[in-house]
Structure 1
């Protein structure tokens, strides 16, 4: 090779390594001072102008915290006549917090995202209250305790399987307390593990409301249900009218206008799958591979990011709910929803139709809220149904056995309780106030942004659980929606394998075969090519690691020197559910000796072998790479696998002088230990 060629190759290598190093490390949280820029809508002025006693605020990533905030706000108005409204944290200027006195109450619903991070809309608020420099404007408190007159309560949404469990709720509580603010009720730590979040919320609010009532001298009001929203049927308006929302997520998309706003749930990009296939298909499970085209979207992703899929409810679920509510014959009736109090926000885009409400806008397939069951009880069609709903709504153990453990949705519960007699007296407003909105689902992108800059790959197992003795089957919402798209793309005349049907043509039949989506950033980042990496991802936990290995193979093929890249992958059997089995040899040809794949097949051989067992068998290699500066990644089940793998790593890293768990903590602090678990 000529000297000039070598020089050019070295320059290319240096630029590439520098780029990836910057990309990797600049994506990490850093202790840098940033100017806090918030809305001009001051919080104190807002509460004064609208004569509010309380403001319910949410920091939400997927919409769950927002739903709980609205539920709390509704109950505070109806049961305690507490004048309040609900706001997104990012919509207000909090620099005048010190203007609030003890007659005002702030209620926070705060989700923790990723590894203890704030949600996007809560970042600036957190920066403000954790800032070392006091920037509050008026100074009603003292210089060192500027919020001495502020009163608040907090409910956090987290998952105990993560190391930084409910970090946002704890950080905000600590910061407000340090500024002199007083908590009126204990901080609620909602736990989303094993479906416990709903019960966490109910327990907390039943404890918090009496404390709030005591502090603000509120009397609980016992009266019949009064709807917050007036639902007006408009038979004279055609459901084909261009002013009627039939599933469009925003007014701009209803008008067919192109938005320059970032892609989001209100402004998704409608992608056409360029390729899809079933990686395996048997009597109990399907696994999909889909390649979604994002050309023309102005969206860019980095390897390790998420794609957020905006699903719809299956036609069977929509039909079932409309039928049990006595609305099936009115499904295409246009309705206008208006708040009785003009200060209240609309819960839904209006005008719309009954069908659209339950097909596109609200969660109707998930486990129903115990509180909603209790609220529906007075409107039951029979005394027997009223008695049973009241018991389900008031007895959490009975509710768990008869609803939660079988994943029953609203229509299924109502139908079982009344033996099919419709609930024609349930106000639609009650459902709009208490059902959760239909939320996007996040999937780790399983492709490399270098290899596929205009496509995102999705790897997903289609969920299905069956209770034979109860004649009941639960289907995963979004994975079955994607499976319907996969079958549609291949033009298969056979129906959906789980018997489900979807309106794949979308609102007004303009989106046939298109999937609404947007990109969500992740902190699960691939290290630069010169850094060794160890990845552990059984099942669909392989998704981001396929992207990682694909990217390193792509770089190696271009002549970039790539450090050791080790993958531990596990599944049931090598001949049935070994994902991307045919691809690993191809990547290995590019990566050569720098790539190692260690597999664990749990249902082959006399003993079950899992990824943590393979990890322990490779203790010397793991130790060597960690000592050489490797990054360690885990993706998959949080409850069991991630814990077992972490414990195995702690065993490997333990020395006479240092405990393995402390070593892992050091790796976290050095941004060398990453988890993407669920």
Structure 2
């Protein structure tokens, strides 16, 4: 073969190889790009691709709004055959929303976080629709009303004790209306502070469903319950199989892969408590102090942030529910859960076990919803039980008196109603569709990020409430879980004071001595050191203020001049529940005259003395500091304490020229009046 032929053949081979290589890598690049795009589809694109009638979208911080969204979605499918999908607001690009036609519906479930702020996953959406320079294409031909073809419904989750009550729902409603969109039905405003969130939701959905049915010509389908999920028992698979979820929060965790994603509910950091102790303990209550190690987590916090604890349900609650459902002997049975409609998302990780479902994945200790009671009624084991469940589920006042007021959970209601006869005919799918997911609980961090950068401190009273006449006790889920960790770490052989047991070793015994947690940002932050501050926090409301004072004391020890730092603290008695009593003199020695502590011990005199009384006694000082630019903080009980303190401050700030309430409004607007209440 000639040299020129060899060269030509070589060039041809290179070109051929290059061609196939280009196509191979090009196709892979396109595939990756397609995956990236599909993970952030436009809302119009999603609805068209899956031929949906509606999308139910949630902006959720703790998971409550998400649970309500799924419940609404489930009922829309089963009751009206209204095809829809439930989605996270953060997963979609809404810039094509103006392409929607009136045959499609958007349903929003929006929680308000902090001082009227959007949840993390709703930030982009609210920024888009409130933008002055709209980017919608106005394809409908109406330039000033680009969303004139869009129809929507909206339910908000808020807390009336905050000034910006349900701000997100109201803001989205206002912005959508300004863009020409048409709301169907009333705006729902759920109030978590009044304990009526469930009833607010039920009232709203009972009003909005008929409106949706009228607009879209839907007929209510009255038929027997049809499950959304196929639950397949697999006795041939061992619960110890490495493919079975036993409480792991993600597929990565199941496979033992260390995720590089920031810690979150789906990817918590398993922290070791380096210190845990009881600050006080008596016959009715006790208070815990824990210090959680976050070194190696890549987590950082600001003083005033929250630590989010991911709890588990106690063994007693799991046993009681499995027993009343007739599943106790099947607790370790492996089950595979599959949606009958492939477009429906699974509510749990699968395969798993009955025990894991109730121990790690669902809320089973909280008050059962009235709607779920009504749905369970047809599957009651006796006619008497069916009639009682129907009454509880349909009569709001009867439900309140016999369930809500006593904080009865699912197992407790079922057992009382049936006298212990198990509900063996109850479809497991019905529970998967309607139970809320087990959510993290937030606690104000009680340490300073400057002095304790690798540890977060938690201060929490262990919750317990007893109804002696009903032989019933309600236990706080997470605080009792933390107490179990405290006892375990200190090697105490005595049983849990509330006789609760927890599988602290966790799934596959990989969590022994560790607490799943992550950091949640807060707007309740410390003012710069040159700004005076006034803090009011009785009981465990002192938690963030301990961090504030600790930080200013640390700065003072570094030679930084700190402004006046005033703390009003209240508890019952100075010798029993005075939190961190031994620390305040240390901070005083470091801060000198910059720090002042005013205490109110409510039960040490004939007439009860509270923090608002101490505040009024120091009216001149408070007025002087507010006039000098001080920030005012309140942390603790929302219903009584926060209102009383706010009223006391209004009295202090009232002058001949100006009303005190208006001055507080000005302080709020300037972000100088901050509340962290519950």
1:123 paired to 2:126:
no
Provide the secondary structure at the position in 1 that maps to 2:82.
coil
Cα separation, 2, equivalents of 1:112 and 1:514: 31
Q: Is the 8 A contact 2:42 2:95 kept in 1?
A: yes
Cα separation, 1, equivalents of 2:207 and 2:515: 42
Q: TM-score, normalised by structure 2?
A: 0.94
CA deviation map 1:1-21 (0-9, x unaligned):
xxxxxxxxxxxxxxxxxxxxx
Cα separation, 1, equivalents of 2:608 and 2:141: 63
1:179 paired to 2:176:
no
Task: Give the deviation of 1:657 after TM superposition.
Answer: 1.1
2:84 equivalent in structure 1:
84
Provide the secondary structure at the position in 2 that maps to 1:195.
coil
Q: Is the 8 A contact 2:230 2:339 kept in 1?
A: yes
Q: 1:566 to 1:38 in 2, by over 3 A?
A: farther
1:482 paired to 2:482:
yes
CA deviation map 1:156-212 (0-9, x unaligned):
001111111100000000000000001011100011123100000000000000000
1:675 paired to 2:675:
yes
CA deviation map 1:381-413 (0-9, x unaligned):
000000000000000100000000000000000
1:547 paired to 2:558:
no
Q: Is the 8 A contact 1:115 1:163 kept in 2?
A: yes
Q: 1:184 to 1:278 in 2, by over 3 A?
A: same
Cα separation, 2, equivalents of 1:121 and 1:326: 39
1:246 equivalent in structure 2:
246
Cα separation, 1, equivalents of 2:426 and 2:312: 23
Task: Give the deviation of 1:138 after TM superposition.
Answer: 5.3
Provide the secondary structure at the position in 1 that maps to 2:57.
strand
Q: TM-score, normalised by structure 1?
A: 0.94
1:577 paired to 2:577:
yes
Cα separation, 1, equivalents of 2:301 and 2:39: 28
Task: Give the deviation of 1:139 after TM superposition.
Answer: 2.1
Q: Is the 8 A contact 2:138 2:147 kept in 1?
A: no
Cα separation, 1, equivalents of 2:140 and 2:109: 26
Task: Give the deviation of 1:140 after TM superposition.
Answer: 1.7
2:593 equivalent in structure 1:
593
CA deviation map 1:102-143 (0-9, x unaligned):
111000000000010000000000000000001013522411
1:96 equivalent in structure 2:
96
Q: Out of 656-665 and 355-364, give the one that drifted further.
A: 656-665
Q: Is the 8 A contact 2:189 2:200 kept in 1?
A: yes
Q: How does 1:445-464 map to 2 (within 5 A)?
A: 445-464=445-464
1:663 equivalent in structure 2:
663
Cα separation, 2, equivalents of 1:640 and 1:60: 27
Task: Give the deviation of 1:534 after TM superposition.
Answer: 0.2
Cα separation, 2, equivalents of 1:38 and 1:116: 31
1:556 equivalent in structure 2:
556
1:322 equivalent in structure 2:
322
1:236 paired to 2:244:
no
Task: Give the deviation of 1:571 after TM superposition.
Answer: 0.4
Task: Give the deviation of 1:40 after TM superposition.
Answer: 4.0
1:53 paired to 2:56:
no
Cα separation, 2, equivalents of 1:75 and 1:298: 41
2:212 equivalent in structure 1:
212
Cα separation, 2, equivalents of 1:519 and 1:208: 37
2:169 equivalent in structure 1:
169
Cα separation, 2, equivalents of 1:412 and 1:195: 20
Unaligned runs of 5+ in 2: 1-36
How many residues align? The count is 642
Provide the secondary structure at the position in 2 that maps to 1:128.
helix
Task: Give the deviation of 1:595 after TM superposition.
Answer: 0.4
1:282 equivalent in structure 2:
282
2:188 equivalent in structure 1:
188
Task: Give the deviation of 1:599 after TM superposition.
Answer: 0.4
Provide the secondary structure at the position in 2 that maps to 1:390.
helix
Task: Give the deviation of 1:38 after TM superposition.
Answer: 12
RMSD across aligned positions (CA): 0.9
Cα separation, 1, equivalents of 2:619 and 2:405: 40
1:350 paired to 2:350:
yes
1:297 equivalent in structure 2:
297
Q: Is the 8 A contact 1:271 1:294 kept in 2?
A: yes
Provide the secondary structure at the position in 2 that maps to 1:621.
helix
Q: Is the 8 A contact 2:245 2:352 kept in 1?
A: yes
Q: Is the 8 A contact 2:138 2:145 kept in 1?
A: no
Q: Out of 313-322 and 666-675, give the one that drifted further.
A: 666-675
1:223 equivalent in structure 2:
223
Q: Is the 8 A contact 1:55 1:107 kept in 2?
A: yes
Provide the secondary structure at the position in 1 that maps to 2:561.
coil
2:499 equivalent in structure 1:
499
2:629 equivalent in structure 1:
629
Q: Is the 8 A contact 2:444 2:543 kept in 1?
A: yes
1:642 equivalent in structure 2:
642
Q: Is the 8 A contact 2:277 2:290 kept in 1?
A: yes
Unaligned runs of 5+ in 1: 1-36
CA deviation map 1:495-518 (0-9, x unaligned):
000000000000001110100000
Q: Is the 8 A contact 1:101 1:150 kept in 2?
A: yes
Q: Is the 8 A contact 1:56 1:106 kept in 2?
A: yes
Q: Is the 8 A contact 2:137 2:146 kept in 1?
A: no
Cα separation, 2, equivalents of 1:73 and 1:39: 21
Cα separation, 2, equivalents of 1:280 and 1:640: 24
Cα separation, 2, equivalents of 1:542 and 1:127: 35
1:439 equivalent in structure 2:
439
Q: Is the 8 A contact 1:186 1:208 kept in 2?
A: yes
1:107 paired to 2:107:
yes
Provide the secondary structure at the position in 2 that maps to 1:137.
coil
CA deviation map 1:221-248 (0-9, x unaligned):
1011000000000000000000000000
CA deviation map 1:308-328 (0-9, x unaligned):
000000000000000000000
Provide the secondary structure at the position in 2 that maps to 1:193.
coil
Q: Is the 8 A contact 1:98 1:147 kept in 2?
A: yes
CA deviation map 1:351-377 (0-9, x unaligned):
000000000000000000000000000
1:609 equivalent in structure 2:
609
Provide the secondary structure at the position in 2 that maps to 1:529.
coil
Provide the secondary structure at the position in 1 that maps to 2:547.
helix
CA deviation map 1:628-660 (0-9, x unaligned):
110000000011100110111011111111111
Cα separation, 2, equivalents of 1:287 and 1:52: 51
Provide the secondary structure at the position in 1 that maps to 2:135.
coil
1:508 equivalent in structure 2:
508
Task: Give the deviation of 1:39 after TM superposition.
Answer: 6.4
Provide the secondary structure at the position in 2 that maps to 1:600.
strand
